[in-house]
Structure 1
Amino acid sequence: MIRISECPDKFNGQHAIQLIEAENHHDPFLYALFASTRMGEVSSWQWSDEMASHFLKMQWQAQKLSYQHQFSRAKNFIVQMNTDQIGRLMVNEDDSSIQLIDIAIMPDYQNKKLGSFMIELVQMEAQSKGKDVRLMVKRNNPALKLYKRLDFFVIEENSLDLKMVWRSSENR
């Protein structure tokens, strides 16, 4: 199984980064992270705070249950910088690939190359095992630029989503 939790302990040579396996007591953080990724969209609907909060909690629970059902063997990590919980990395490994199920970074830590760092860790792990990295992304997700910059390419698409892959050097 994936050893990504053995990541280099420094990001940019100065900040200690740790990947901690998520447990139930991390749920409040994981919900706050999920809500932060959807807040722009939900606020555009001009709902009351109560209605938006209810909707986001319902959506987060649905995502959590869906991931548990679809990826029962997935590894779900909390990304910690120094002592701050700053993100999530969820991966699922099979015989031929590592699937990047979810990656999210709290807004205050975005645009600091942390997402690149986390994906590159997954790529290094995949490379060491001769495996590809696969992911699915919404067409309008700003992270699409990041994935392309890190050599992911589209292998399948529909009107909403793109399936992408990064090939290890053994599989190119």
Structure 2
Amino acid sequence: MTPVLRAAQAADADFLRTVFAAGRDAEVAAFGWPPQRVAAFLAMQFEAQRRHFRTGWPQAIDWIVSLDGSPIGRFYVNRGPWAFTVLDIALLAAARGAGIGTALLRGLQAEAATTGVPIELRALPDSPALRLYRRLGFDGGRVDGQRVALRWEPLAVAS
């Protein structure tokens, strides 16, 4: 079960909206809004996130994650010269808990280790993914705005 990555294309917009919405089911359910209002809110939030990522990290790649030929998520990463930044990692509910997020992050860690740069990411303080990040060696935990900022450092390369 190895996830496959391909760069997102314009035709993937509906799928990316679906993945975005799937990660916010519990949040929007608490609002008690009718479905049309929820859909409008999530569309607005998705577009705001998209603009934020494209403005702040114009070189980042938005990857579609597939398993057995079916899209199951997104992995949005900026590979900067001083750090790799995970902007978003999101999987459809049926794909969660199967080790796919672990495989994606371990692959990125291996790549970052070869270049000697750290990996940075942010997560909501109540995110179940925090356990995964900590298990994979991400540390820090300072609250940066509304998110917990975490960092993974590659081992020092012996000279």
Compute the TM-score of the two structures, normalised by the length of structure 2.
Answer: 0.94
Q: Distance in 2 between matches of 1:59 and 1:155?
A: 25
Q: Which position in structure 2 is the counterpart of 1:48?
A: 34
1:77-127 deviation line (CA, Å, top 9, x unaligned): 000111110011111122221111110111011011111111111101101
1:42-76 deviation line (CA, Å, top 9, x unaligned): 01111001110111111111111111111101011
SS at match of 1:170: coil
Q: Which amino acid aligns with 2:67?
A: M
Q: Which amino acid aligns with 2:127?
A: N
Q: Distance in 1 between matches of 2:28 and 2:143?
A: 26
* Matching of residue 139 in structure 1 with residue 112 in structure 2: no
**Correspondence 1:1-172 to 2 at 5 A:** 10-11=1-2, 17-154=3-140, 156-158=142-144, 160-170=146-156
Where in structure 1 do 4 or more consecutive aligned residues deviate above 4 Å? none
Q: Which range moved further: 27-36 or 95-104?
A: 95-104
Structure 2 unpaired stretches of 5+: none
SS at match of 2:97: coil
User: Per-residue deviation at 1:27?
Assistant: 0.4
Q: Distance in 2 between matches of 1:111 and 1:120?
A: 15
Q: Which amino acid aligns with 2:138?
A: F
How large is the Cα RMSD of the aligned pairs?
1.4
SS at match of 2:94: helix
Q: Which amino acid aligns with 1:96?
A: W
Compute the TM-score of the two structures, normalised by the length of structure 1.
Answer: 0.87
User: Per-residue deviation at 1:157?
Assistant: 2.3
Q: Which position in structure 2 is the counterpart of 1:5?
A: none
Structure 1 unpaired stretches of 5+: 1-9, 12-16
Q: Distance in 2 between matches of 1:143 and 1:103?
A: 10
